[in-house]
A and B are shown apart, each in its own frame.
Chain A
Amino acid sequence: MSTIRTSIIGTVTDGLAALALASLALVASAAPYVPKDDSVVLEHLPVRPSDPVARELRQLRAQLAENPRNRQVAIRIAERYFALANSEGDPRYVGYAEAGLRPWWDEPAPPLDALVMRAILKQYSHDFPGAVQDLVAATREDPENARAWSWRAAIDMVQANYEQARKDCLALKDIENNLFAVGCIAYLDGTTGKAAAAYRALSDAFARASETSPEVKVWVLTRLAEMSLRMGNVKQAEEHFRAAYFEPINDQFLLGAYSDFLLDQGRADEVIPLLVDWFKSDILLLRLAIAEQTLKAPKAAEHIGALRSRFEAAALRGDKLHQQEEARFDLVLLGNREKALALAQDNWTLQREPRDARILLEAALAMKDPAAAQGALDWLERSGHEDPGLRQTAEKLKALKR
């Protein structure tokens, strides 16, 4: 009887049904709505228009609009926005910085300052080959360009090119032998099996250094904490983490490393107060959700849902910037071992830091698939990296092979 209408079959009808705009929503989100009244606040801007930084940037942008080829202004804008991107963790600012550099973006040989800035912005978007190419050109043009050498070192470390990283750090040392040159080598040594020596060198240089900014202090203290962990000195590591935490700046990397330390120590309850205000940051929300799930806290489900939708959004965009975090999300929070391993393997082809090795080893162990983590096992062998946790996981994996 015609009163019974059942499922509509067929692509034609699907297409017609799709006309209903409600079904057009691309990403899982609540249905679009009309806000109740005009006073409803829809969005908080991270920087108020009256903020001095915002005001300065507005002036600079107006200046640049008058003459887009004013390189000095363009680079100042790029520097400012890049700093904002780092402190706020919002990649939009990198886009704004890039927009300022547009006249030089596709040039084969832009002026040195534009070249280095371009490389820095490229590496932020994980265009490592593009960034390295620019930095090689920059250091060739100006072998005394400390900034270019430092960034080369940073990228070589991320990609585990330790031989080249050592050359980069030594070039830095030739230019200016200070805390940063020492820090560069110590960071390399600390990662490649000489943690004790690196720790001594860095803490000595740190003690000698005068007028260090909070940013530099946090960086050094976090590195010292990591090196302590690699030496198996948990107590010393915690002292450094706490000292860094009490510096008067927010550093997402420190918060992430400190939270991981606490989680590894089985102290999830201490992670929550540390990260409770960091909902907006993907990397910190991940740690917060892990702590909450460990403690069976009621907020866990909500935060896992938020992370899931952020990873889905990144996937739609075709981003591979989040794979390390997403792998950990899948492994630890969802128990989705297979997907976690695939992500961790893919991530390993892009970046090879100890954290990247860790997630690959753990995901492979969860899947009982030592061959999948061969890259990380080889790296561990070759680098001599000392982290006891990583070594333990690797031993378990190797035992599976036998």
Chain B
Amino acid sequence: MRATQALAAAVLALATATAFAHKPSDSYLAISVEGTEVKGQWDIALRDLDFAIGLDDNGDGDITCGEVKAHRNDIGAYSLARLKLRSGGADCPLHATEFLADDHSDGAYSVMLFEGACTAEATTLEISYSLFADIDPQHKGLLRLEHGSGTRTGIFSPERATQTFELEKISALTQFLDYAREGVWHIWIGFDHILFLLSLLLPAVLAFGGGRWQAVERFAPAFWDVFKIVTSFTVAHSITLSLAALGVISLPSRLVESAIATSVVLAALNNVFPLVHGRRWMVAFFFGLVHGFGFASVLRDLGLPQNALLIALVGFNLGVEGGQLAIVSTFLPIAYALRASWFYRRLVFLGGSLAITVVAGIWLVERAFNMKIITP
């Protein structure tokens, strides 16, 4: 090569050494791992795929959707052959499930969804990435790895083609606390459970005698009454919650929700027109069974980790109890202090019970007939 020519190229570089125009080649790899299951999405630039396996069949410089479609299997085979997931010393074979397209800031990408399974629950995941390593060492794979224990990111390049990710088991305590918090939260926002409990507790500081309610004389009987009611409610709903969550029994949610509303109506009405007194803990137990099904549906919505079923169940249940206890321990002293007053006996006890009856009655209609009256 003539020196002049060589110099021309280099001296031109004197100013262009830092001029940099385009985004380099990247692929975007998102992998989500749950237990043994792997799901993912892989966005690869069409330009890169074209360079590697040829997509522009008619050679017109445009890549059409039809051309990409015709090469789906090639794209899947080519790319998945360059991505290896291993866990516990064994491969987690992957297969493509769907192909889409997307536009990134630098052009159109093929979007491939894929799935796979590892033989055992992944605790360490080894990912080997060699896409385009042989044809473009500048290419990088940008990984986002989702796992119950958190989100990790990684950058793959030929120098860092294999990386290992510790999928730390979500600590049992974290999981337990998460579900306990959900339990508390559910009681707190679950007005139907609160109102049911209140309906049963309102008469605890009163005693029915001679056809009318009278204030109890000592705290101990009131306390034990409340204790029995809360305990039997808890035991009952724990039974059905567990059975339903474990899939032993399943009831249609409309039926459960309607039955819960009915239980509130009956419990409140019983204060106005007493039928059952003295043994309200049995009422609490009976309807507690119904409420348990309601809790179970919440737990189902949250999703139950198959590997930590017991922790989730116990955590959620104890959360519910904790929430209940907080309500009861606020209620009881106040009610006891006010039990002899007109305010409590007329307004809170009778007026409150009537109001609860009305609200729960409306819920019952809403839920039984699938209507919206007061529920937002």
Number of A-B contacts (CB under 8 A): 323
* Cβ–Cβ contact A21 & B20, under 8 A: no
* Cβ–Cβ contact B101 & A180, under 8 A: no
Return B376 CB to nearest CB of chain A, in Å.
Answer: 8
Cα separation A47 to B26 with both chains bound (whole Å): 19
Cα separation A16 to B20 with both chains bound (whole Å): 41
* CB-defined contacts of A3 to chain B, threshold 8 Å: 257, 367, 375
Tell me whether A399 is interfacial, beta carbon within 8 Å. Answer: no
Out of B41, B136, B142, B189, name the residue touching A96 (CB < 8 Å): B136
Return A340 CB to nearest CB of chain B, in Å.
Answer: 18
* Cβ–Cβ contact A12 & B148, under 8 A: yes
* Cβ–Cβ contact A310 & B146, under 8 A: no
* Cβ–Cβ contact B178 & A15, under 8 A: no
* Cβ–Cβ contact B181 & A4, under 8 A: no
Interface residues of A in 351-387 (CB under 8 A from B): 351, 353
Tell me whether B16 is interfacial, beta carbon within 8 Å. Answer: yes
* CB-defined contacts of A153 to chain B, threshold 8 Å: 10, 14
Return B325 CB to nearest CB of chain A, in Å.
Answer: 20
Out of B46, B47, B155, B253, name the residue touching A92 (CB < 8 Å): B47
Which stretch, A229-237, A262-270, A311-319, A329-337, touches the partner chain B?
A: A311-319
Cα separation A165 to B350 with both chains bound (whole Å): 96
Tell me whether A276 is interfacial, beta carbon within 8 Å. Answer: no
* Cβ–Cβ contact A19 & B140, under 8 A: no
* Cβ–Cβ contact A184 & B19, under 8 A: no
* Cβ–Cβ contact B22 & A280, under 8 A: yes
Encode B3-26 as 1/0 by CB contact (under 8 A) with A: 110111111111111111111111
* Cβ–Cβ contact A282 & B22, under 8 A: yes
* Contacts A49-B59, A283-B19; A15 near B146 (Cβ below 8 A): yes
* Contacts A29-B103, A92-B138, A313-B105; A48 near B60 (Cβ below 8 A): yes
Cα separation A282 to B30 with both chains bound (whole Å): 26
* Contacts A38-B65, A283-B20; A180 near B301 (Cβ below 8 A): no
Return A135 CB to nearest CB of chain B, in Å.
Answer: 10
* Contacts A11-B149, A11-B178, A281-B22; A318 near B137 (Cβ below 8 A): no
Out of A15, A25, A90, name the residue touching B149 (CB < 8 Å): A15
Specify the chain A residue showing the minimal Cβ separation from B70. A38
Which stretch, A144-152, A193-201, A291-299, A390-398, touches the partner chain B?
A: A144-152
Out of B23, B103, B155, name the residue touching A282 (CB < 8 Å): B23
Out of A11, A39, A213, name the residue touching B174 (CB < 8 Å): A11
Encode B284-299 as 1/0 by CB contact (under 8 A) with A: 0000000000110110
Tell me whether B351 is interfacial, beta carbon within 8 Å. Answer: no
User: Does more than half of chain B's interface fall in helix, strand or loop, or is it mixed?
Assistant: mixed
* CB-defined contacts of B15 to chain A, threshold 8 Å: 187, 219, 222-223, 253
* Cβ–Cβ contact B63 & A43, under 8 A: yes
* CB-defined contacts of B29 to chain A, threshold 8 Å: 26
* Contacts A95-B138, A219-B12, A317-B142; A1 near B107 (Cβ below 8 A): no
Specify the chain A residue showing the minimal Cβ separation from B298. A2
Cα separation A99 to B134 with both chains bound (whole Å): 6
Tell me whether B170 is interfacial, beta carbon within 8 Å. Answer: yes
* Cβ–Cβ contact B34 & A158, under 8 A: no
Return B132 CB to nearest CB of chain A, in Å.
Answer: 8
> For B13, B101, B186, which residue has the most chain A Cβ atoms within 10 angstroms?
B13
Cα separation A98 to B138 with both chains bound (whole Å): 8
Tell me whether B43 is interfacial, beta carbon within 8 Å. Answer: yes
* Contacts A123-B17, A183-B11; A26 near B142 (Cβ below 8 A): yes
* Cβ–Cβ contact A21 & B3, under 8 A: no
* Cβ–Cβ contact B101 & A99, under 8 A: no
* Contacts A37-B65, A92-B25, A155-B17; A1 near B191 (Cβ below 8 A): yes
* Cβ–Cβ contact A92 & B24, under 8 A: yes
* Cβ–Cβ contact A15 & B147, under 8 A: yes
* Cβ–Cβ contact A24 & B30, under 8 A: yes
Return A171 CB to nearest CB of chain B, in Å.
Answer: 12
Specify the chain A residue showing the minimal Cβ separation from B171. A11
* CB-defined contacts of A34 to chain B, threshold 8 Å: 100-101
* Contacts A12-B175, A18-B32, A45-B56; A92 near B4 (Cβ below 8 A): no
Return A22 CB to nearest CB of chain B, in Å.
Answer: 9
Specify the chain B residue showing the minimal Cβ separation from A83. B9
* Cβ–Cβ contact B13 & A29, under 8 A: no
* CB-defined contacts of A40 to chain B, threshold 8 Å: 64-65
* Contacts A42-B63, A351-B18; A184 near B11 (Cβ below 8 A): yes
* CB-defined contacts of A223 to chain B, threshold 8 Å: 15
Tell me whether A207 is interfacial, beta carbon within 8 Å. Answer: no
Tell me whether A349 is interfacial, beta carbon within 8 Å. Answer: no
* Cβ–Cβ contact A32 & B375, under 8 A: no
Tell me whether B278 is interfacial, beta carbon within 8 Å. Answer: no
Residues of B within 8 A of A (CB): 3-4, 6-26, 28-30, 32, 34, 39-41, 43, 46-48, 50-51, 56, 59-66, 68-69, 100-108, 111, 113, 132, 134-140, 142, 144, 146-151, 153, 155, 170, 174-175, 177-179, 181-182, 185-186, 189-192, 253, 257, 260, 294-295, 297-298, 301-303, 305, 312, 363, 367, 375
- 23 A-B residue pairs with CB within 8 Å: A1-B363, A16-B303, A16-B305, A26-B142, A33-B101, A36-B65, A41-B64, A95-B136, A95-B137, A99-B135, A124-B17, A180-B8, A180-B11, A183-B14, A184-B14, A215-B12, A253-B19, A284-B21, A310-B23, A313-B23, A316-B142, A316-B155, A318-B140
Extra pairs beyond A15-B170, A26-B43, A95-B137 (19, CB < 8 Å): A3-B375, A10-B179, A11-B174, A15-B34, A15-B149, A21-B30, A29-B103, A32-B41, A41-B64, A42-B65, A46-B47, A48-B60, A90-B21, A99-B134, A151-B10, A184-B14, A310-B105, A317-B140, A319-B24
Query: Lowest 4 A-B CB distances belong to which pairs?
Result: A89-B21, A150-B10, A38-B66, A95-B138
